[in-house]
């Protein structure tokens, strides 16, 4: 009987400690996940900026290179967005629809690069930039 009381007292002391350790581990994992999401958002934001900064000064004679690079960057963002949408049930449908609309606009503006004559290049490049910014904003709404 005495052993049973002693064991019971020890267990009653141990259970809250285990719960506390579990709670601390849960908090730690939640903090790590939040850090990961924040880092991913910063990395993606940097990706958008770096991509545009590297291409914004391309002239009409480099329009093919511009288009290829923007298509590649756009595909990377589309893949990241698809991953987010597949992994999370908490992304509002409105944000997903806005991203899809921004994606379609980006593709449409990028397709116009083929037809941009030298004198229309600046306007075409500006339209692609605006579509890229819209895509960036829509992507950020997915991760917020």
Q: Domain residue spans in the chain?
A: 39-143
- The answer to whether 67 and 103 are in contact (CB under 8 A) is no
Where are the alpha helices (H) located in the chain, listed in sequence order? 2-55, 63-87, 93-111, 121-143
CA gap 88, 110 in Å, rounded: 29
Q: What does the pLDDT look like over 62-86, one tens digit per residue?
A: 888 999 999 999 999 999 999 988 9
Q: What is the pLDDT of residues 78-121, one digit of tens each?
A: 999 999 889 888 889 999 999 999 999 999 999 999 888 777 89
**Rounded to an integer, what distance in angstroms lies between the CA atom of residue 128 and that of residue 66?**
10
Three-state secondary-structure class, residue 89 = coil
CA distance 20 to 101: 46
pLDDT at position 10 is 39
């Amino acid at each position: 009987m005495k052993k049973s009381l002693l064991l019971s007292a020890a267990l009653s002391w141990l259970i809250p400690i285990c719960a506390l350790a579990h709670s601390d581990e849960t908090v730690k994992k939640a903090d790590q996940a939040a850090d990961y999401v924040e880092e991913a958002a910063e990395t993606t934001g940097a990706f958008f900026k770096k991509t545009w900064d590297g291409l914004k000064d391309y002239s009409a004679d480099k329009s093919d290179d511009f288009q290829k690079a923007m298509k590649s960057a756009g595909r990377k963002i589309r893949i990241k967005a698809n991953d987010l949408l597949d992994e999370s049930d908490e992304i509002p449908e409105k944000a997903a629809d806005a991203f899809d609309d921004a994606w379609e606009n980006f593709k449409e503006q990028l397709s116009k690069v083929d037809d941009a004559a030298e004198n229309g290049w600046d306007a075409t490049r500006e339209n692609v930039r605006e579509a890229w910014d819209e895509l960036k904003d829509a992507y950020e709404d997915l991760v917020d």
